[in-house]
Amino acid sequence: MDRKALQAILVMIIVVQLLLTGCQASEEGDLSTEEVSKFVNQFFQQEKIKKMNVPGGAVVVVKGDKILYEKGFGYANLDKKIAVDPKKTVFQMASTTKLFTATAIMQLVEQGKIDLNKDIQAYLGDIKFDNPYRNPITVKHLLTHTSGFASSETQKIDFERDLLKFHPIKTFLQTHIPPVVRKPGEVFMYDSYGYTLLGYMIEKVSNLPLEQYMKKNIFQPLEMKNSTLFLSPEILIKRSLEYDPNGNVITPYTWAPTIDGAAGLNATPHDIANFMISHLNSGVFKSKNILDSKTVMAMHKYQSEIHPTYPDTTLGFENSLLTQDHHNQYVISKGGDAEGFSNLLTLLPEQKVGFFIVGNKPSDIRQEFYKQFMNRFYPNKKHLEYMKTPQEKLQRFAGTFMDLRKDFLITHITPYGDGELALEYNISFVNNGKKKIIYRQIDPLLFVNDEGQLLAFKENSDGSITYMKNLLSYSQRSEVPYFPDVQKDDDYAQQIRNVQVSKLLPSTWNNQFEPNQPITRGEFVTMTMLVLEVSPTIEPEQRKNGSITEKVKKAMDLGILNNPDKMDEPIQRQEAATIFMRAAKKLRMPEIDKLDAQITGEVNDESTQGVKAIVALELFGPEVTKTNTGVDYHPKQYMLRKEAAALISEAIFKLAP
């Protein structure tokens, strides 16, 4: 998932926080074809749903061993007005593919060919991993996303626009081997690479290509007639077009590897309904067993959790993003996202109910559907009682937390009142314009905000806190000490902290930050090169602050700097903007010099475009002056260290790889 996809998901989550429930709650237990049809019709008639402008998609609802409801909405091809047919229109499943891979693995477990608790090296042949921990990585660790591998974002499953090009799974795995950076089994971190490994494991153990195994053991028994891991010309003709957030058609693509257990499935919503029915009926579909009932129960049981109320994963399924809307029901789910679509599969095993929604444009429609479905058919909510733990006793939760999957997402947590914590992100738009998001304590390690969203912590044996999880992030506390000369209530404190924990500072800045000191040309070049060279393959704890000499040389070699002189002298803000623009154009954002913005103040001609780019991206702190006529960047003033921190801190996310 690239930066734009993550941004779309972040915006989607934020919008969900603001949406009000649109369908009236009713008595639990009236889940019938008639009631579901009425609910879905009401759902799509809401103005807020219409405003999402999703060209097309589908909804299927199953109960017991029957499809209760299935209907397409909108168009698979908007220009040609080809309507979505849930039985015929194929959609990409993206990460929902992982449920099928997990099901296949569990079939092989039943046959005694795979042991969940065995070292994965036993099944992978000559694909080897350097694991510095005594604990081996087991098959169960891969299924539950607790392998300890570095971020799966680093082992990027790329889009492939050339539909004739084939990327072998083994080659992909061998060229994308991640380091093991955490003890296996210690903590959840979403990991697509692990599921690609599981797909390869299926091939090795079964002696069948992954596509052939899935067809023989899952697709055919479940009568999934339009499901495949291989995007053939026949399937491509049936597949819905996909649209970007602006409504433009996206060029069809596959994945690398081409046949992939993490993200490669194409299927109709009707086929997905059959899969849900099998899981809700102890592995049986129309008298055909794909799994033993005990195996299905094991797959549906949560295996990892940061808190019992906020579990992570089963053997394949996951907890919904919207845990607060479970309404005391046992819920397991799996969602899929990529360029041009999103989907959500949800099961309530105890009710033998499942539903699946897919849309051919990124939006928050699936979350809103889930929320309203649960409000409509399972409305009973749990009454919360709040704790009043003294503020000083909440200090153990305070700190800076870095997301395990995208370490540029940084969360700051501070005690706010008795039984209350304040949470702030480094990403300005995430807070919905709020300076702080307040969470109230409902359990020693669990908090909830006004939207009902949970914040949970993992406690060590000594009572200290290492991990945090909320709607947006699963994060680890940074142990980097704060700069003693930066006050925590300073306007720049968080931005300084962001670049500090991300190790984006000159190596000469050790114990003091000196926020009001002008930054030198060499120091600014170093920070610029560090943030634009950040590779998620290098974990934060393995990174080092930069050598000024090395980074200046690199900037010279790339043509970002024309002259290595005067590196020890202070730099004007306009020159800093120009250097940053040149570096970003070369290393991260080729079109940055085409950005435009209204600026005021006297700017040198050679620096005008650099200042416009910085202003357009809002890479600054409170030092600029905003008026009705534009932004005064104060271009000829020397840039202070704290101002440089603000620029680089904003760039951490906005120009992330």
The 10s digit of each residue's pLDDT in 563-605 is: 888 999 999 999 999 999 999 999 989 999 999 999 999 999 9
- Residue 115 · residue 154 · CB < 8 Å: no
* Domain match, 224 and 365 both: yes
| Residue 539 reports pLDDT greater than 70 | no
Does residue 111 lie within any of the structural domains?
A: yes
Q: What is the pLDDT of residue 16?
A: 45
Beta strand 474-477 with 454-459 is unpaired
Taking a C-beta distance cutoff of 8 angstroms, is the pair 296, 289 a contact? no
Q: What is the DSSP letter of 640?
A: B
Percent of the chain with pLDDT over 90: 71
Residue 51 pLDDT > 70: yes
Q: pLDDT value at position 154? A: 39
Do the domain assignments include residue 229?
A: yes
Please indicate, yes or no, if residue 192 is contained in any of the structural domains.
yes
pLDDT of 489: 87
Closest CA to 415 of 435, 434, 441, 433: 441
> 166 and 258 in contact (C-beta within 8 Å)?
yes
**What's the number of domains the chain is made of?**
3
Average pLDDT of 422-446?
79
In angstroms, the Cα distances linking 382 to 326, 355, 442, 462, 649 are 10, 23, 12, 31, 40
Cα–Cα distance list, 443 to 238, 253, 388 (Å) = 50, 46, 10
Does residue 421 share a domain with residue 323? no
Give the pLDDT score at 434: 52
468 against 503, higher pLDDT = 468
Max mean pLDDT among 149-158, 338-347, 468-477, 529-538 falls in 338-347
Same domain, yes or no, for 450 and 539? no
pLDDT digits (tens, 9 = 90+) for 379-390: 877 788 999 999
Residues 251, 345 within the same domain: yes
Average pLDDT over residues 444-463: 92
Shared domain for 272 and 400, answered yes or no, is no
Work out the average pLDDT over 48-62. 96
pLDDT at 472: 79
Q: Identify the burial level of 369 via C-beta atoms within 10 angstroms of its C-beta, where 0-12 means exposed, 13-18 middle and 19 or more buried.
A: buried
Q: Is 208 exposed, middle or buried (0-12, 13-18, 19+ CB in 10 A)?
A: middle
For residues 36 and 426, the model is more confident at 36
The answer to whether residues 409 and 316 belong to one domain is: no
Tens digit of each residue's pLDDT (9 = 90 or more) over 398-419? 999 988 877 678 899 999 999 9
How much is the pLDDT for 174?
94
Look at residue 106 and tell me if it is in a domain: yes
User: Which one of 377, 399, 418 terminates a domain?
Assistant: 377
- Give CA 447 to chain center in angstroms: 22
Q: What is the amino acid identity at position 31?
A: L
Single-letter amino acid, residue 11: V
Give the pLDDT band of residue 152 (cuts 50, 70, 90). low
Q: Where is the domain boundary, 354, 377, 400?
A: 377
CATH number of the domain bearing residue 464? 2.40.128.50
Per-residue pLDDT band for 474 (boundaries 50, 70, 90) equals confident
pLDDT bin (cut points 50, 70, 90) of residue 320 is confident
> In which band, very low, low, confident or very high, does the pLDDT at 425 lie, cut at 50, 70 and 90?
confident
Is residue 449 within 8 Å of residue 437, measured between CB atoms? Answer: yes
Indicate if 533 and 603 belong to the same structural domain: yes
111 shares a domain with 19: yes
569 plus 596 within the same structural domain: yes
Average pLDDT over residues 132-154: 89
484 occurs within a structural domain: no
The answer to whether residues 485 and 515 touch, using CB atoms and an 8 Å cutoff, is: yes
pLDDT digits (tens, 9 = 90+) for 172-188: 999 999 999 999 999 99
Q: Is there a contact between 432 and 18 (Cβ–Cβ < 8 Å)? A: yes
- What pLDDT digit, counting tens, does each position of 254-268 carry? 888 999 999 999 999
Identify the pLDDT of residue 124. 95
Residue pointed to by tokens 């142990």: 479
pTM tops 0.85:
no
* pLDDT reported for residue 410: 86
Task: Please tell me the distance from the alpha carbon of residue 435 to that of residue 423, in angstroms, as a whole number.
Answer: 9
pLDDT of residue 6: 52
Based on the fold, state whether residues 364 and 400 are members of the same structural domain: no
Which pLDDT score, from 0 to 100, does residue 158 have? 65
Single residue among 448, 477, 506 that ends a domain in this structure = 477
Where residue 136 sits, what CATH number does that domain have?
A: 3.40.710.10
Predicted confidence at residue 156, as pLDDT, reads 42
Has residue 535 got a pLDDT over 80?
no
The reply to whether 278 falls in a domain is yes
Cα angle value 560/582/548 (rounded, 5°): 45
pLDDT score for 428? 57
**232 and 346 fall within a common domain:** yes
Cβ contacts of 357 within 8 Å, gap of 6 or more: 57, 58, 59, 343, 344, 365, 366, 369, 370
Taking residues 321-329, what's their average pLDDT? 76
Helix (H) or strand (E) holding 44: helix 33-45
Q: What is the 3-state secondary structure (H, E, C) of 103-117?
A: HHHHHHHHCCCCCCC
Q: Give yes or no for a contact between 31 and 68, defined as CB atoms under 8 angstroms apart.
A: yes
How many angstroms separate the CA atoms of 53 and 268, rounded?
21
* Residue found under tokens 């109320």: 309
| Domain boundaries, position 204 | 3-377
Cβ pair 386, 444 in contact under 8 A = no
Cα atoms in the Cβ-side hemisphere of radius 13 Å centred on 628: 0
Instruction: Please give the Cα distance from 72 to 56 (Å, whole number).
Output: 7
Q: What is the pLDDT of residue 528?
A: 94
Mean local confidence (pLDDT), 300-311: 92
3-class SS at 526?
helix
**How far apart are the C-alpha atoms of 178 and 405, rounded to whole Å?**
13
Whether residue 453 is found in the same domain as residue 418: yes
Burial readout 566-599 (b: 16 or more C-beta within 10 A, e: otherwise): ebeebbbbbbbbbbbbbbbbebbbeebeeeeeeb
Residue 477: per-residue pLDDT: 92
pLDDT at 538: 44
> How far from the centroid of its chain's Cα atoms is residue 414's Cα?
24
User: What length does the chain have?
Assistant: 657
